[in-house]
Structure 1
Amino acid sequence: MKDSDLPDGNVGLTFPWAEPPAEGDAIEVAEGVLWARLPLPMALDHVNVFFLREADGWAMVDTGFDTKRTRAILDRLRAGPLGGLPITRLLVTHHHPDHVGLAGWLQGQGVELLMTRTAWLMARMLTLDEQPLPTPETSEFCRQWGMDPEILARRAQERPFNFSDIVAPLPVGYTRIQEGQEVTLGGRSWQVARGDGHAVEHAVLYEVDGDLVLGGDQLLPGISPNLGLYPTEANADPIGDWLAACDRLSPLARPGHLVLPGHKLPYRGLPSRMASLRQNHVTALDRLHAHLAEPRTGGECFAPLFKRTIGESLYGLAFFEAIAHLQHLHLTGRARRTTRDDGVWIWHAI
């Protein structure tokens, strides 16, 4: 799931298609460019995938989870909207499982995989890192940041989320794309730009001398992608990375761009969207700063960030996003932390 539930909206955006394609069907969004959807078993119940017509078949963008259902739907798409022609190349925008899940399966059929280096390394490492229970480092990280003790105790006895459950094994070998490079997909030239914050070295592709943008999860309409701080890089600053990426990508945005996002509907109005994607987190940081007038743990910082009560199914995403915002306030000198007798951090506004 990507929706962080930070207050957001679609101000200044227009949507050429009011409804998504039906399962197993596709909509042509530009000449030789098809939009389809694959299901996800979560609150954000879909991922968008795109197909670009090439001389010998189709280039695909992103993949969905590796499940029997998504494999079957993709086979239906190949037999139907893709006209029986093969998928020959696959661009994965970032390493998250709803975007890379079927990549290894497709590679086994001879499909060339294109990713940024960090995205590929992250995806392959995570598919190999199977954990039956949370590691001690993960549990201590969550405890120190103030996760609810009852939830933490339950999680310590449960199998955590593992990439290997929903991502096909990735073989050795891929084709690297990188920031500033020009690549060809579907007979169109694309400039590769770099997103960050939601996923490291997230590829965003802008059509050269054209209006299409392959936005992945960096340029979603209506919702803000999850920006979480995790024990794999405990000193990271995903909010700072996100804000820097917004500043980097904003000059590339044009009103005529048609953004093909990883979730929700394709849209126009990218300059407005870039401003709101940044401002969304600036205002969230201000609300959190005000909330810290009283000392708080990380688990006590949901209220200023999210629009609804957070149930246990969303608790993890909300917790890691809340502490990412605390981390940014700390690193920018707007909050300080002290340590309780039990070792849990307490946060105060400066």
Structure 2
Amino acid sequence: MQKIQYLYDELPDAGQAIEVARGVFWIRMPLPFKLNHINLWILDDGDGWTIVDTGINLPEVRERWDMLLKGQFAAKPVKRMIATHFHPDHIGLAGWFEETLGIDLWMTLGEWGMARNLKLETVERSSTYLTQFYHRAGFGEDLMELIPERSVSYPSRIAMPPAGMVRMQDGDDIRIGDHDWRVIVGTGHSPEHACLFCEDLKVMISGDQILPRISPNISIWPQEPKADPLAQFLGSLEKFAELPEDVLILPSHDTPFRGVHHRLSDLAHHHDERLEETFNLCKSPVSAYEVLKGLFTRKLDSHQVFFAIGEALAHLHHLEAKGMLVRTMDENGVYLFAQP
């Protein structure tokens, strides 16, 4: 099994793209988080370009796109955009591209639906179910005060997604230039995350489904409070087992790499360890927030704590589904988890 091999020390700068395979270009855009960048991709599409993921809706990201499209990629028009999933760093500018370039969005139905739904969300409509969800997870008053800001964070980071899209489904082949790209849908990180594999080029755009150094966030979110996304994620890893050993993985964060089978094994092992840690934290009844504090010992900012509680809940729900934990509710309406 080939170990992880990173191929690029140089990173694309603001107005530059690096060709990582024939007709496949890597660009990098800023993010206003601790994870401060996202990788985006431009594919040679014959008489035009196809872009894969758009970046977040910020003026500096729009300016960098303008620089690229009027510079290195000015010779041909952008023909379409593909979004791997609904998170704002991936679809944030889809509406802007539709308005400015008149191009179609290609996306899976579940991801497009989530993007449209969350963009239309308001504090007034979401306050009841968000408050209930995070209270049941064990948030104290200090964290509950962050919920109004959190409820509008997604809408503020994306332009309104197009009202229609071209639907992608698992197993579809999309012709882009001289090559077919097969859609491989992964789950767990998001509802119908689309990865794109080109057998001719031995390249896969993995989005957030397979990252080289960090584990994709696998979380319970208020919109689906009884889910078991970890079971979905671990199950979907098997879909990538048949990829060739030497496939070049193009992730949304970090740098391109080879060694996908080694990385798939690492991801499964990571969650095995986290499940064991979670189980051991539940020797007596504890809330999800108490489990969070045991799993994440470093200081978390207000953005990270919502991802961390989602991760803690995902591991608790998975253990509960396997019959390894039992859930009760205390007199304050907080869920508690304990070993049987």
Does the pair score TM above 0.5? Answer: yes
Q: Normalised by the size of structure 2, how large is the TM-score?
A: 0.94
- The residue that corresponds to 1:205 in the other structure is 196
- The answer to whether the 8 A contact 1:133-1:156 is kept is no
Partners of 1:115 and 1:213 lie apart in 2 by 16
- The residue that corresponds to 1:161 in the other structure is 152
Partners of 2:143 and 2:176 lie apart in 1 by 46
Q: Indicate which of 107, 128, 135 corresponds to 2:127.
A: 135
- The answer to whether the 8 A contact 2:127-2:148 is kept is no
Corresponding letter in the other structure for 2:227: A
1:314-325 alignment, distance < 5 Å: 314-325=304-315
- The residue that corresponds to 1:344 in the other structure is 334
Q: CA deviation digits over 1:172-215, x for unaligned, max 9?
A: 22111100111112421111111011111100111133310010
- The residue that corresponds to 2:43 in the other structure is 52
Partners of 1:115 and 1:106 lie apart in 2 by 14
1:2-21 alignment, distance < 5 Å: 12-21=3-12
Alignment of 1:112 with 2:91, yes or no, is no
SS in structure 1 at match of 2:230: helix
Change (3 A) 1:158 1:37: closer
SS in structure 1 at match of 2:244: coil
Q: Normalised by the size of structure 1, how large is the TM-score?
A: 0.92
Q: CA deviation digits over 1:148-168, x for unaligned, max 9?
A: 33211x125546334321211
1:1-350 alignment, distance < 5 Å: 12-108=3-99, 109-131=101-123, 134-152=126-144, 154-156=145-147, 158=149, 160-249=151-240, 251-306=241-296, 308-350=298-340
Corresponding letter in the other structure for 1:342: N
- The answer to whether the 8 A contact 2:40-2:51 is kept is yes
Partners of 1:156 and 1:184 lie apart in 2 by 43
Q: Which runs of 5+ in 1 are unaligned?
A: 1-10
Change (3 A) 1:126 1:295: same
Partners of 1:156 and 1:263 lie apart in 2 by 27
SS in structure 1 at match of 2:223: helix
Partners of 1:53 and 1:288 lie apart in 2 by 46
Change (3 A) 1:18 1:306: farther
- The answer to whether the 8 A contact 1:255-1:271 is kept is yes
Aligned pairs, how many? 338
Q: CA RMSD in A?
A: 1.7
Change (3 A) 1:243 1:156: closer
SS in structure 2 at match of 1:38: strand
| Deviation of 1:135 (Å) | 1.1
Sequence identity, in percent? 35
Q: CA deviation digits over 1:286-316, x for unaligned, max 9?
A: 1110111132111111244336233444211
Partners of 2:22 and 2:148 lie apart in 1 by 51
Partners of 2:203 and 2:65 lie apart in 1 by 23
- The answer to whether the 8 A contact 2:122-2:151 is kept is no
SS in structure 2 at match of 1:231: coil
Corresponding letter in the other structure for 1:319: I
Partners of 2:303 and 2:191 lie apart in 1 by 25
SS in structure 2 at match of 1:318: helix
Q: Which runs of 5+ in 2 are unaligned?
A: none
Partners of 1:157 and 1:31 lie apart in 2 by 46
Partners of 1:124 and 1:157 lie apart in 2 by 20
Q: CA deviation digits over 1:111-139, x for unaligned, max 9?
A: 12110111111111211223268511110
Corresponding letter in the other structure for 1:321: E
Larger RCO (CA within 8 A; separation ≥ 6): 1
